[in-house]
Chains A and B, each alone.
Chain A
């Protein structure tokens, strides 16, 4: 069983739609990351969360530590949001991140 599970695996949306990507994890964590991977492969860090909620532009990330669940929301989605969104968790007292398999998002005009 994967320690980090994401859903859905694939997501298509029309421009302007509200998007939600979910991440569940089975281990104790010190932080959770949301990352964006572009078609060319590069990875950009979007958020790092240990509690509560963060917002950056049209992106909102929330985490519920008790339920071991996080969501990434995109408001007013745009074709340029098309990418793979990856959830990764950091286990306490270790350096490593454990990654989910990613959610491939395609936003059509």
Chain B
């Protein structure tokens, strides 16, 4: 069964460093999403992406964050200058236009900022 994959599974970085989290959505999906979950808290929406542009973003998704689909298969989340409070689990998800509401989640990347 097709699945969303994410790499790395765990990323440790120092405060102020840039990180790129990678996702490979399911191949025929056209809508892509990033979510984050700070330890012990609920999952929060960050951004949605369609047709090579951001379609919606939350107030969390400030100028430190960016997303792109560089090569037609990967979908990346970049954090330009990480802060301690960026430590969280980051989940990628994707969906098709036909099943627009049905989102398939990746296993997550745990980001630890020290």
Contact = CB atoms under 8 A, between A and B. Distances in A.
Q: Do A and B come from one complex?
A: yes
Interface of A: 30-31, 33, 35, 40-45, 48, 50, 86, 88, 90, 94-102
A100 to B, nearest CB: 7
B105 interface: yes
B103 A96 contact: no
Given A30-B101, A90-B101, A101-B42, A96 B107 contact: no
B103 A33 contact: yes
**A contact face: mostly helix, strand, loop, or mixed:** strand
Given A95-B45, A96-B58, A99-B42, 16 more contacts: A30-B101, A41-B108, A44-B105, A45-B103, A94-B56, A95-B48, A95-B50, A95-B56, A96-B48, A96-B56, A97-B45, A97-B103, A98-B45, A99-B43, A99-B44, A101-B42
B104 interface: yes
Interface residues of B, number: 25
A63 to B, nearest CB: 13
Q: Which 8 A-B pairs have the closest CB atoms?
A: A95-B48, A96-B45, A31-B101, A43-B105, A42-B107, A99-B43, A95-B56, A101-B42
Interface of B: 31, 33, 35, 37, 41-45, 48, 50, 55-56, 58, 89, 91, 101-108, 110
Contacts of B33: 95
Nearest to B110: A41
